[in-house]
Each structure stands twice: as C-alpha cells, then as structure tokens.
Amino acid sequence: MTEHSFGQAFRDEFEELLAWRRDVRHFKTDSVPADLVEHLLDLTSLAPSVGNAQPWRFVSVDEPARRAAIIENFSQANAAALSNYDGERAELYARLKLAGLREAPRHFAVFCDETTAQGSGLGRLTMPETLRYSTVLAIHTLWLAARARGLGLGWVSIIDPAQATATLDVPASWRFVAYLCLGFPAGDHIEPELQRKGWQSREAVCRQVLPR
C-alpha cells in the first residue's frame, strides 16, 4: 500500500456507493442547504479532464419562467419520444416517471465550453470530443458526491438541447450536455427504477472484454 491508499472499509463503502447511485426522478421538495450545494460543485473540480481544461460550466436554473420553459421543453420532447413506441411498450413508457423537474429544489444545466483556453489544447487536438467527455466525468463526480451525502441527482435527457440553450441564454460557444435535478430523494431503492418498472434490466453484456 502507498501512503495514500485507502483501507478495506473505505473500499467496501465505495462499492456500496456505486451500487446505490441512482438516477432520481422522485424528489422531496425540501430545500438543499446552499453551502452544501456549493461544496458539491467544488468537488466537481476534482474530476479528470483532458489537458486539465475543466471545460464544464454549471448554470443554476432558478427563475420560474426559465424553469417553466424547460418543463414545457421536456413535455414536448417526451410526447415525441412516446410516439416512437406502440403497443405494450408505449403503455409502459407512458406510465414511467422520467423526470423530477417539478419537485426538485435545484436545477442545473451543464454545458461544455469548447473554446476554453485552459489546457492550451493538450490532448484534444485529435479528439476534440474529449472536452464533452470531461464534462460528463464532472457530472458523474457530482452524482457520487451528492449520493454520499444523502442527495439524489437526476439526469433529464428527454429535452431539446437547442431549445434549452436558447432558454438559458448562455454564450454561443457553450454546448449543452445535460440537465440535472438535485434534491433529497423521496424514496431509496438499490434497484434502478427502469428495472423495477420492467423497462430494462442490467445486462452483463456491458462487462464483455474482447481480446485482440
């Protein structure tokens, strides 16, 4: 073990944290302490990023009019998504709760600044998409940090990115990556909701490693 290795108790708890991380759609409306939110956002700066560019930009969506526009955006996108299914699959989709936009006390839109000078282009000249990958790693860091403190995070992917970007009036060089809901979960389940509701279970195929 090196000087900064972690003991078995920590490793066990970390595995438990990974198992209990959930995409939360059911939130309590209780407010989240502002200093806790700020601390969680500070922790995202520890996420890995290509060239240490840290291209993620978090936008706190607090104005009622902007939130209402985002909710309408989701409603339209969700209706369009439903139209892609039919029969029993459509009926099941219609019953799923796919966002906690109305209940979650905090909303964040996450963008990637693809023109950031930080990092001086290191590591992204051949694969510029690694800036967005870095932004996703920041989101995952926030996800785990929030869960470790009893908070839930929900990623709303059923949304029109261009419309959301226009609603939030951000710099033109920023690219929409995610819309997040943050708050205390209304319930605790170790099984993913989509698995509990019969939409999709976890499959071992993602564990396959192909020899070459």
Please write the tens of the pLDDT for every residue from 70-94: 999 999 999 999 999 999 999 999 9
- Cross-strand bridge partners of residue 113: 174
Q: For residue 1, is pLDDT > 60?
A: no
pLDDT more than 90, % of the chain? 80
Please write the tens of the pLDDT for every residue from 117-127: 999 999 899 99
Phi first, then psi: what are they for 110, rounded to 5°?
-115, 130
Residues 50 and 56: their CA atoms lie apart, in Å, by 11
Q: Checking phi first, is residue 108 left (phi over 0); if not, alpha (psi -120 to 50) or beta?
A: beta
Average pLDDT of span 141-159: 96
Three-state SS sequence of 27-88: ECCCCCCHHHHHHHHHHHCCCCCHHHCCCEEEEECCCHHHHHHHHHHHHHHHHHHHCCCCHH
Predicted local distance difference test score (pLDDT) of residue 183: 97
Predicted local distance difference test score (pLDDT) of residue 5: 85
Please write the tens of the pLDDT for every residue from 158-179: 999 999 999 999 999 999 999 9
Fill in the DSSP letter of residue 185.
B
pLDDT more than 70, % of the chain? 97
Predicted local distance difference test score (pLDDT) of residue 166: 97
Number of other residues whose CB lies within 10 A of the CB of residue 74: 21
C-beta separation of 63 from 156 below 8 A: no
Q: Output the six-digit token pair for 17.
A: 């944290």
Predicted local distance difference test score (pLDDT) of residue 2: 64
Q: 134 exposed, middle or buried (CB, 10 Å; 0-12, 13-18, 19+)? A: buried
Three-state SS sequence of 84-142: CCCHHHHHHHHHCCCCCCCCCCEEEEEEEECCCCCCCCCCCCCCCCHHHHHHHHHHHHH
Q: For residue 20, is pLDDT > 70?
A: yes
**Confidence label for 66 from pLDDT (cuts 50, 70 and 90):** very high
Instruction: Find, among 57, 42, 20, 36, the residue nearest to 141 by Cα.
Output: 42
Predicted local distance difference test score (pLDDT) of residue 193: 80
Which residue bears the tokens 């033109």? 172
Q: For residue 184, is pLDDT > 90?
A: yes
The average confidence (pLDDT) of the chain is 92
What distance, in Å, lies between the first and last C-alpha atoms of the chain?
32
Predicted local distance difference test score (pLDDT) of residue 133: 97
Please write the tens of the pLDDT for every residue from 90-106: 999 999 898 999 999 99
Fill in the DSSP letter of residue 201.
-
**Confidence label for 144 from pLDDT (cuts 50, 70 and 90):** very high
